[in-house]
Amino acid sequence: MNKVLQLGLQSSVINVAKFLVVPIRSLRVGSSIVGVGVGTRSVNKRLMSNATVKSIPFSINNSKGKEVLKIVGAATDQNCHQMGSDSGRAEMGTPQDDRKDIEAMTVQELRATLRKLGLPVKGRKQELISTLRLHMDSNLPDQKETTSSTRSDSVTIKRKIRNMDEPTEDDYSNSEAYGIEHGEKRVKQSTEENLKAKVSVKAISKERKSLTKTGKQQIHLKEEALSTISSELLKTEEMISSLSQSEPWTVLAHKKPQKDWKAYNPKTMRPPPLPEGTKCVKVMTWNVNGLRALLKLESFSALQLAQRENFDILCLQETKLQVKDVEEIKKTLIDGYDHSFWSCSVSKLGYSGTAIISRIKPLSVRYGTGLSGSDHDMEGRIVTAEFDSFYLINTYVPNSGDGLKRLSYRIEEWDRTLSNHIKELEKSKPVVLTGDLNCAHEEIDIFNPAGNKRSAGFTIEERQSFGANFLDKGFVDTFRKQHPGVVGYTYWGYRHGGRKTNRGWRLDYFLVSESIAADVHDSYILPDINGSDHCPIGLILKL
């Protein structure tokens, strides 16, 4: 292939409609021409078969708008031999003309040209001219070869033609019908791409439909699952509601609960029974709020209670019996509980009263505190029974009353006297103190602590006295020791129907000497037993 580099200052402009611009991708510097060219092809198939291509000048303007450089490359094809007339050769120009044009160029134009050819641009004007001439001479064929060789298709070149991604000159040498073949390839490629696009669109559409269907199925399944969950939640709520009505104590009820508190449930919180043969005593205590009224209730059966709990000793408070009623009541006692001891109020008839009913015969029994002439013993509030290994004190502590009328008496006289009585007995045997002690010692022991700060049974004075006279003197609150974070009430006032909503107080206790606290197997509450505004509580003590 013969190639000619032409440099000229012609100002002619290419008619793009008549010629096909063909840039060449490869760029070679040195012995070969820069591989960017503009060739011309006739659209007519007959002319293309003759393969006669003329070189057309393409002008490149510098930044001042003046035409500076014209590079013409000749592309020769094996099928393109005959150039034709001399007019075609004259149109191309001669090397002598090119040298004159180079000498007429300014330094800036020379550097711009060399830069576009990828040649060095440093040096004076004469050095730049020499560099450009050397480059021309190395790329021009000798005269004989120019006149006798196959006349080439001239291709006007312009470096930096828009983009370098168009077909190269080598692509043209393989086929005269490149344009048609390339066009067919493009059409075929475009058709294939369109078909692929259509298939892809159909696939996407099908996938969308499938996803939509799947989504609907998933939504349907989720709705069914939510419906099932809602149904289960409703059933659970109904069960909780039913349970809260039948067993309200299982629902935590407190105005100011701590995060680790839980409601007491005797079905789940009581320890397993002691192994058979373990020596122990089971004591129950209950403020019956009127024994005769309780026995008249059709819903209550003392026999069933005894059979169910199988207690050894039963302590009662607030029996409200008179001395004359005791013998008649003894006749109604269950067989096996042959030992009963009753203390009745004599200062106010049908008021207060305590009793111990046992199937174990005690060693001795005392009534009151034992202080001669003491007003404390006139209300029948204390019965003390001595057994082999402990003393059992059953007491009904005076209520401070409406308006706290008896508060001073309670904390300054009663609590101190009872504490001294206990400590005296403890000198010989451990003591178990039980009964209605009429004090909710801590906030966990009352539903509404803030609203009862000046209510009898929860005043700061009563609570401090409870601690100072009993707990601080070595007695242990067995229920709280066993259940430190459990809300369990033993009293619910009739006035506001507190039992239905479990809004209660813990006023009933088993306090034991510290020496036998470790022998307590279970301290429990029986909130399911009705018949009074209090419920029974129990203690199982290993002997």
Instruction: Tell me the pLDDT tens digit for each residue of 86-109.
Output: 444 434 445 556 667 788 888 888
Please identify every residue annotated as catalytic.
Answer: 396, 436, 534
Q: How far apart are alpha carbons 283 and 367 in whole angstroms? A: 19
Q: What is the pLDDT of residue 369?
A: 87
Alpha carbon distance 308, 294 (integer Å): 18
pLDDT at residue 82, as a whole number: 39
Regions of the chain short of the pLDDT cut 50: 1-93, 142-184, 187
* Per-residue pLDDT, 220: 72
Note whether 447 and 489 are within 8 A (CB). yes
Pairing of strands 280-287, 313-317: parallel
Return the SS3 of 371. coil
- Expressed in angstroms, the distance from the first to the final Cα of the chain is 123
DSSP state of 341: E
What pLDDT does residue 410 have? Answer: 95
Q: How far apart are CA 433 and CA 537, in angstroms?
A: 13
Taking the CB of residue 135, how many other CB atoms lie within 10 A of it?
A: 22
Please give the model's pTM, rounded to 2 decimal places.
0.59
How many Cα atoms occupy the beta-carbon half-sphere of 539 within 13 Å? 30
Tell me the CA distances in angstroms from 421 to 408, 413, 477, one per residue in order.
Answer: 19, 12, 18
Other C-beta atoms lying within 10 Å of the C-beta of residue 96: 8
For the residues of 155-185, what is the DSSP string, one character each? Answer: EEE-TT-S-TTSPPHHHHHT-TTHHHHHHHH
**Residues 159 and 28: beta-carbon distance below 8 Å:** no
- Half-sphere exposure of 253 toward its Cβ, with a 13 Å CA cutoff? 22
Q: Residues marked as binding for Mg(2+)? A: 287, 318, 436, 438, 533-534
State how far the Cα of 106 lies from the Cα of 93, in Å rounded to an integer: 21
Secondary structure percentages of the chain, helix, strand, coil, to 5: 40, 15, 45
Q: How many CB atoms lie within 10 A of CB 37?
A: 28
pLDDT computed for residue 203 by the predictor:
65
